[in-house]
Amino acid sequence: MLSFPASNRTYQIIHDAEKRGYAVGGYCVYNTDGVLAVIRAAERCRSPAIIQVFPWTLHFQGRHFIQFIASAAHSATVPVSVHLDHCLQPSDAELALDCAFDSIMVDGSMFDEEESIAYVKRIVEQGREKGITIEAELGRMEGGEDGLPKIEGSLLTDPEGVRSWVERTGVHFLAPSFGNVHGPYPEGGAEKWWQVDRLKRIHGALGSQAPLVLHGTHPCSDEMLRVGIANGVRKVNLNRTVRNKYMKFLAEESGKLELTQLQEKGVQIYSEEIERLMEVLGSAGKA
């Protein structure tokens, strides 16, 4: 029997990607359609996947919805885990530890360095007792997502201090800040704003000790995603990139179709976009 953290579902998924040189998608969802779209795409592509929600879901839909997601994900015919993204409030992380998550991303980017280390380390230790692995952000990525407050100002991750920070906190996965932003990029996009050399140095400092997570992928070309993978990214967070066509379909067809038809077609459109990204990330066929 595997011991923690090797027994953890998210850990297994991300470390398989680390060993085999691909990335797995962390797909942000807001409703049942999103949950079904991820699982169906993963099963069709024979791909591992991570279903992600924000703390908004904890408060709006509640822990019973999280339990539904976990039950559906863990019943899939391929490895699928459930992850809570961007716990900006310590109270949300505490709440999440008593829910059915496989992993939690704690965001201490708004604290000073020592406060951030203390916060992340505390959640890592509490998570260990529950069998939950922890992702954390080092530095700060500006911008926002639907369901998250907008963050002003970036703070880039220092490659020189990253190994020490990971060792002091004990985090399992690291989300670095290297010019990536949440939400739309400024003019020039990721091609202009990503500091790829910084990402490469961060990966070089950590190796497989803490696989890297890419935040800020909208919009982001397939080629830039591959650049991230080539420089150590093993989990890629995806939200609007895979959701936009689904949202456009709902806006155009709501009121024209019966609700059952709207949901069935919507999930199909949503899952097709996810499948395309699974091919880009290299996760298709890995499960």
- Separation between Cα atoms, residue 34 and residue 52, nearest integer Å: 10
Determine if residue 215 is labeled as part of a ligand binding site. yes
Can you spell out the DSSP letters for 64-93? Answer: HHHHHHHHHHHTSSS-EEEEEEEE-SHHHH
CA-wise closest residue to 194 among 180, 212, 182, 204: 180
Determine if residue 218 is labeled as part of a ligand binding site. no
Determine if residue 86 is labeled as part of a ligand binding site. yes
Structure-token pair, residue 246: 């689904």
**Polymer length in residues for the chain:** 287
Which one of 85, 98, 112, 222 is the catalytic residue?
85
Can you spell out the DSSP letters for 41-64? Answer: HHHHHT--EEEEE-HHHHHHT-HH
85 is catalytic: yes
Query: How far apart, in Å, are the Cα atoms of 273 and each of 84, 129, 240, 278?
Result: 22, 37, 10, 9
Residue stretches of the annotated binding site for Zn(2+): 86, 107, 137, 182, 215
Residue stretches of the annotated binding site: 86, 107, 137, 182, 215
**So which residues are the catalytic ones?**
85
